[in-house]
Amino acid sequence: MAVQLARRGIRSQLIDGSGRLGRGVAYSTNEPAHLLNVPAERMSALAGEPDHFARIFEAEGGDRRGFAERRLFGRYLRGILDEAVEKGCIKIIEATAVGASRQGDGWQVHLNNRSSLETKGLVLAAGNQEPAALGEFEQVGDRFVRDPWDATARAAVEDLANTGAAALIVGTGLTMVDLVLSLEAAGHQGRIVALSRRGLAPRSHANTEPAPVDQSDIPQGSVIGLLRWLRRRSAEVGWRPAVDSLRPFSHVLWQGFDVDQQRRFLRHARPYWDVHRHRIAPEVGQTVARLIGGGRLEILAGRISTARETDRGLEVGYRKRAAEADQSMTFGYAFNCTGPLHTMSRSRDPMLRSLLDAGEVAPDHLNIGLSVDENCRAGEHLWAMGPLTKGRYWEIIAVPDIREQAAAVADDIKRELGE
């Protein structure tokens, strides 16, 4: 966002106190096993330059149709930011924004170092929020890792590698895959149990030919109608090309659902959509399959019933789906990998909490993000981006979507602020 503003001659102050400036959570990993989930040829960060990253990746010996290490992509993003900063339009502020209030026709932003700054416009680009708390683990101490990306998680992975104790992962999505890869890379030889309500894990990419369709060929307005079409189309061309053919129309299809249909999608179809749409690199898929085949990784459908610390570790009771009784197992650690928070009104982010409590922003109609208009405006001189706009766009968490959104928002800011 800051780079797009700089390209339009608009000065900005970029606030980030995470220590991951320019890279965020996903691309700040140093683990070589963590690969992009999208081929390099589609991962340009710059709108209008679709092969920007692919050229850089090829120059370093990569294949543009391959899956680059995420740490490489993180360096790429930071390089783009550093280049823009050198040109003088971006000021970096290494602090955390903890609140904002109206100041005339602009904003005063409050920082965690007790300072503040004034600005004409404000863009919320905080990305995904931390997972929701899990009630079953409320009374559990350090053996339950609440954030799988912080230093506590890294220390737990190292301890598990040293002791060989079993690991429990709550959630079976992309974060689960990342944690499994981290455990494997650390040399962990113990058992890993990953559990979620449905036990669905991400599918992997494969070499398939595209099978594009016209928008008029796709039924709109009905989740059931779209599912039936996908099944027929998958039988003809394979499920991967069928799902990918919806990519150019995802926003239109989502906005074609009324509120009831959107809720039906979230309630019933979303878990299946996520594992088929947001796939993992083939190499990663092979690692996961090897661990499952060797009996070290077990992916289960079920629910956690109890959790308590004992002298031997973390004793967790759980019931497999369709089972008549609970079973229990002792783990060295359990990790919350249930994915980002999907209930905006429960946000613990201090900046968002400040704006929500003051009525400056509102949850969207599904309470999964912020309410924004067609220009991503969440209020006067206030914009939101990325996952914060899921309610309006749904598919807005991947780089190909966000890069276009950043350019569009930058254009709207230029029009609105007249700079």
CATH number assigned to the domain comprising residue 295? 3.50.50.60
Residue pLDDT, tens place only, 210-244? 999 999 999 999 999 999 999 999 999 999 999 99
- Kindly state the helix (H) or strand (E) to which residue 345 belongs, with its residue range: none
The total number of structural domains in the chain stands at 3
Taking phi over 0 as left and psi of -120 to 50 as alpha, with beta for the rest, 364 belongs to beta
Asked whether residue 261 falls in the same domain as residue 286, the answer is: no
Order of strands across the sheet that contains 122-124: 122-124, 382-384, 377-379
Residue pLDDT, tens place only, 15-52? 999 999 999 999 999 999 999 999 999 999 999 999 99
Confidence of residue 419 (pLDDT cuts 50, 70, 90): low
Asked whether residue 189 falls in the same domain as residue 240, the answer is: no
Is residue 210 situated within a structural domain? no
Indicate if the pLDDT at residue 139 is higher than 90: no
How many helices and strands, by DSSP H and E, does the chain display?
Answer: 14, 15
Is residue 142 situated within a structural domain? yes
Q: Is the CA virtual torsion 61, 64, 68, 73 positive or negative?
A: positive
Asked whether residue 170 falls in the same domain as residue 309, the answer is: yes
Asked whether residue 284 falls in the same domain as residue 262, the answer is: no
Asked whether residue 115 falls in the same domain as residue 142, the answer is: no
Per-position b or e across 159-195, b if 16+ CB within 10 A of its CB: ebbeeebbbbbbbbbbbbbbbbbbbbeeebeebbbbb
Enclosing domain of residue 231: 215-277
Asked whether residue 196 falls in the same domain as residue 316, the answer is: yes
Q: Tokens standing for 254?
A: 């989502």
Amino acid letter for position 109: V
Is residue 302 situated within a structural domain? yes
Asked whether residue 295 falls in the same domain as residue 367, the answer is: no
Is residue 306 situated within a structural domain? yes
Is residue 316 situated within a structural domain? yes
Is residue 209 situated within a structural domain? no
Q: What is the pLDDT of residue 166?
A: 98
Is residue 208 situated within a structural domain? no
Asked whether residue 251 falls in the same domain as residue 219, the answer is: yes
Is residue 373 situated within a structural domain? yes
Confidence of residue 247 (pLDDT cuts 50, 70, 90): very high
Asked whether residue 230 falls in the same domain as residue 369, the answer is: no
Paired with 175 in beta bridges are none
Asked whether residue 301 falls in the same domain as residue 182, the answer is: yes
